[in-house]
Structure 1
Amino acid sequence: LGRYLRDNGYHVSSASSAAEARAALDGMAFDLIVLDVMMPGESGIDFTRGLRRSATVPILLLTAMGEPEDRIAGLESGADDYLTKPFEPRELLLRVETILRRTAAQPPATPSTCIRIGEFRYFPARDELLRGDEPVRLTTAEADLLRVFAASPGETLSRHVLGERLGGGTSRRAIDVQIARLRRKIEPEPQNPRYLQTVWGRGYVLRAE
């Protein structure tokens, strides 16, 4: 896979274990991490969960476990995407391109310089979420999702529309998982959302104040 990505114009660093991966992350910055769930030393799920405590670099998980609950566990750990083995190298390349395209995209213009979401303030121009004066760490996928909602506050967005605005290639289930994760960060009661609400049969809506 490393050779294939290099042949398609990417600079690639490889690690054979969790320890090597951590050492590489300490020494340089990466635009994307492609991580095997079954890597030696530590599961990719645990590695992702630990990395998410301090970093927002996009993560694509590779795994031989293709059951829905495995995919959900991967996304809930903080991964941006999840690819099941076996797969064609071209599919991996397309997933990588989609994630990097989302990451590099400029935030869309919004009618407000600051959007209030309960005790939070979101500044679309600089893609920053604050709770009081403290910044709230968002993963790349969470930040992308909040940016899309902030561009259309009060508008119900279907999963299809959300997928398109996120750059395509994002499954409906992945969107649901990312919304659940975002709710845990901005909602006082994530199970009874006040701001990021479900509109049954239609999609989701951000009720900003």
Structure 2
Amino acid sequence: MSAPQDVHLLIVDDDERIRVLLQKYLVRNGFLVSAARDAAHARRLLGGLEFDLIVLDVMMPDEDGVTLTRELRKIIDTPIMLLTARGETSDRISGLEAGADDYLAKPFEPKELLLRINAILRRIPHVPEPVGGPKVLHLGAVRYDVDRGELWQGDAPIRLTATEAQLMRIFSANPGEAVTRTRLVEELGRDDGQAQERAVDVQITRLRRKIETDPKQPRYLQTVRGAGYMLQPD
């Protein structure tokens, strides 16, 4: 499975052996790849270059991957894949809550990393643009431009991660209709299982913080008991 030559990845890992192996493997599979040895090095590269996806190790000295993810989410919406030696669900959920789009537990097969990277890169264009219907959905003080896939509050854009943008495209294609968690798992390119459904729940929680006045009592991105989630615009 090859990638377009203009897709630029950033690998961030303090283990030089892993860093070099991943860089060589991904280059062989058609990616442009830059590598950083720690969070500070990654920040310098991000200050001068644009990347299509960041592969980020969690366990790093000085500034760990979850903390770096949380800080990067304040300024960029580049997809982030976390690599973690911690296989506990709670640790993975922490990464998602910080703003990561996916995670992969070490040790892993390089091919699985490649498949997950390609799945993330396919997410946004994977969902077809809605045909007909309103071009802008109003969600209280927030509006969603369906054609451009952009969320706005007044004149200020609201940053969406790749996964959040994908969720908005799915929901905007089905306004007022419940979308099951199983379907969301499938549309987001994730494997089946309760853990993946829990991961979707975390993404929904994050998206609600950007849409709702009171995320704990959602008005627009509603939970439909036994059926999934539903976007209910004004």
- The counterpart of 2:42, out of the listed 8, 14, 21, is 21
CA contact (8 A) 1:149 1:206 kept: yes
TM superposition shift of 1:168: 4.4
The residue aligned with 1:102 is 123
| Percentage identity across paired residues of the two chains | 56
Q: Give the AA of the match of 2:102.
A: D
The residue aligned with 1:181 is 206
Task: Please list the CA deviations of residues 7-45 of structure 1 after superposition, one character each: whole Å capped at 9, or x if unmatched.
Answer: 111111111111111111111110000000012331000
1:98 to 1:169, Cα distance in 2 relative to 1, 3 A: farther
> Quick one: distance in 2 between partners of 1:168 and 1:112?
29
> Quick one: distance in 2 between partners of 1:173 and 1:51?
23
The answer to whether residue 171 in structure 2 is matched with residue 146 in structure 1 is no
**Aligned 1:31-70 pairs, distance under 5 A:** 31-70=52-91
Q: Give the AA of the match of 1:195.
A: Y
- The counterpart of 1:158, out of the listed 160, 165, 180, is 180
CA contact (8 A) 1:37 1:63 kept: yes
TM-score by length of 2: 0.85
Please give the secondary structure, in 2, of the residue aligned with 1:192: coil
TM-score by length of 1: 0.95
TM superposition shift of 1:132: 1.9
Task: Please list the CA deviations of residues 164-197 of structure 1 after superposition, one character each: whole Å capped at 9, or x if unmatched.
Answer: 2234448212211100000111111111111111
TM superposition shift of 1:104: 4.5
The residue aligned with 1:82 is 103
> Quick one: distance in 1 between partners of 2:128 and 2:36?
33
1:151 to 1:104, Cα distance in 2 relative to 1, 3 A: closer
The residue aligned with 2:159 is 137
Q: What is the aligned-residue RMSD (CA, Å)?
A: 1.5
CA contact (8 A) 1:107 1:124 kept: no
Please give the secondary structure, in 1, of the residue aligned with 2:91: helix
The residue aligned with 1:172 is 197
Note the residue ranges of structure 2 that are not aligned, 5 or more in a row: 1-21
1:183 to 1:82, Cα distance in 2 relative to 1, 3 A: same
Q: Give the AA of the match of 1:166.
A: L
- The counterpart of 1:116, out of the listed 123, 138, 152, is 138
> Quick one: distance in 1 between partners of 2:139 and 2:47?
35
Please give the secondary structure, in 2, of the residue aligned with 1:33: strand
> Quick one: distance in 1 between partners of 2:111 and 2:227?
33
Q: Which has the higher contact order (CA 8 A, sep 6+)?
A: 1
> Quick one: distance in 2 between partners of 1:135 and 1:48?
20
> Quick one: distance in 2 between partners of 1:75 and 1:166?
14
Note the residue ranges of structure 1 that are not aligned, 5 or more in a row: none
CA contact (8 A) 1:16 1:40 kept: no
Please give the secondary structure, in 2, of the residue aligned with 1:13: strand
With 83-92 and 51-60 compared, the bigger mean Cα shift is at 83-92
Q: Which contiguous aligned blocks of 4+ residues in structure 1 show a shift greater than 2 angstroms?
A: 103-107, 163-171
TM superposition shift of 1:123: 0.5
